[in-house]
Structure 1
Amino acid sequence: MSKKPDNLLEFLNGTFALYPEEIKLYEEAFIHSSNNSSLNNQRLAFLGDSVLRLIIREHFFKKNPVSDIGELTKICGEEKETNKNFANIAFKLELVKYMNIENPPLDYETNEILNAEVFEALFGAIYLNRGFDETKRIAEKYILTNLEL
């Protein structure tokens, strides 16, 4: 099992100015599906992916008020909503260090899928615990600034 830092709550407070009401939800966001447990981060990653895409699309929708659907699709672009972008941000934040993962691959710290999955799961947990506005506040700081054209 990978070594994880002692205090997830301290990380969330210090990095995101986030004071979770329910830490168990955030702990779940860092449980990889390789653990032999029915509790893992896949459901939160599913939700987080959708929330992140909504935030990104809303941002570009508002930023380009006269663009039609074709232009918005091009401006927003699928490349802005990819695992690669989410993984790069997760890598910078060192999120995988907090993962509970059985037999991690040798490249687990830089593994795109693992990084994107934990990033999406974290945002799923933030959304469920704190709501859309708080999720958007954090996304604006950590995602949207990295996606500007």
Structure 2
Amino acid sequence: MFLEMLALPFNVKDKIEPEFFSYPSKSMEASVEAVERIINYKFRNKKLLEEALTHSSYTDSASYQRLEFIGDAALGCALSNYVFLAYPSLDPGQLSLIRAANISTEKLARVAVRVGLYQYVRHNAAALDDKVREFALAVQEEGDSVLYGGSVKAPKFLADIVESVAAAIYVDCNFDLQVLWVIFRGLLEPIVTHEALQQQPQPVTLLYELCQKDGKHVDIKHWRKGSKNIASVYVGGKFIASGSSDEKEIGKIECCKGSLAEAVI
């Protein structure tokens, strides 16, 4: 039962008895073994994990793109089950916010950095290394408390890797959602809770909601200045605050944070 699963009452290794084994290529043996230790799961078909750790720039083998497709859906379903049972009094909109916060690109990319998945991914794109290095430094400075985007935009391919590893587990254990959640809940910790979202509402959403209640119109304007994306907030036609970043969405979040800090609503 899924309710029993939430308390982790069983040993995953006892539940899954391998029926066949498939081994990775020689060049990926060490990486596959390392990731198995990270996630605390032994694959029957280790080729699945090899595929999950292969970026599309590495053209000599199948990439994680196909697995990413099912991993996104499987994690979403596992989170849906969890929040539905954990929060029986919340409405669908509130449940959706909790689910989204726990499987967002930001969240999953931070998981990839925290557990060190990227170092085991094979690719032929040197630019990826620079993006991960920059993001990892930001994560190290900011910690796990950032819900809506930190100072550096989360590289989507990091989240894709996490989803692909989830898919590899899901397929390997015969599409058992319970087993997937038992394994992945530990990787997703700390789980973003309803209480955390109440304490840290999404800045853009909160700004619009507060202004709507007060009958004020919000307008967010964007433009570029050199390499920076600038965003400015106008409430009722009046300039309130601006924010800037290399990434448009982060600039938008920063200017809304500034507007809320001005307490003009």
Question: Smaller-chain TM-score range?
Answer: 0.7 to 0.9
- The corresponding residue for 2:167 is 124
| C-alpha displacement of 1:81 | 2.5
- The normalised TM-score by structure 1 is 0.84
- The corresponding residue for 1:107 is 131
Counterparts of 1:38 and 1:12, CA distance in 2: 19
More helix by share: 1
Question: Given residue 18 of structure 1, which amino acid in structure 2 is its aligned partner?
Answer: Y
- The corresponding residue for 2:92 is 69
Structure 2 counterpart of 1:78, from 97, 100, 124: 100
Distance 1:6 1:107, change over 3 A: farther
Structure 1 counterpart of 2:37, from 9, 14, 29: 14
Counterparts of 1:77 and 1:122, CA distance in 2: 19
- The normalised TM-score by structure 2 is 0.50
CA contact (8 A) 1:12 1:19 kept: no
More strand by share: 2
| C-alpha displacement of 1:72 | 2.2
Alignment length, in residue pairs? 145
Say yes or no: does 1:147 pair with 2:192: yes
For residues 84-103 of structure 1, what are the alpha-carbon distances to aligned partners after superposition, in whole Å with 9 as ceiling and x for unaligned? 10000011111111111002
What secondary structure, in the 3-state scheme, does the structure 2 residue paired with 1:138 have?
A: helix
What secondary structure, in the 3-state scheme, does the structure 1 residue paired with 2:58 have?
A: coil
Counterparts of 1:51 and 1:135, CA distance in 2: 8
CA contact (8 A) 2:35 2:120 kept: no
| C-alpha displacement of 1:10 | 2.6
| C-alpha displacement of 1:46 | 1.2
CA contact (8 A) 1:29 1:122 kept: yes
| C-alpha displacement of 1:132 | 1.9
Larger Rg: 2
Greater RCO (CA < 8 Å, at least 6 residues apart): 1
Q: Which runs of 5+ in 1 are unaligned?
A: none
Counterparts of 1:92 and 1:123, CA distance in 2: 16
Q: Percent identity?
A: 22
Counterparts of 1:137 and 1:115, CA distance in 2: 21
Distance 1:77 1:20, change over 3 A: closer
Which aligned runs of 4 or more in structure 1 are off by greater than 4 angstroms? Answer: none
Counterparts of 1:32 and 1:65, CA distance in 2: 40
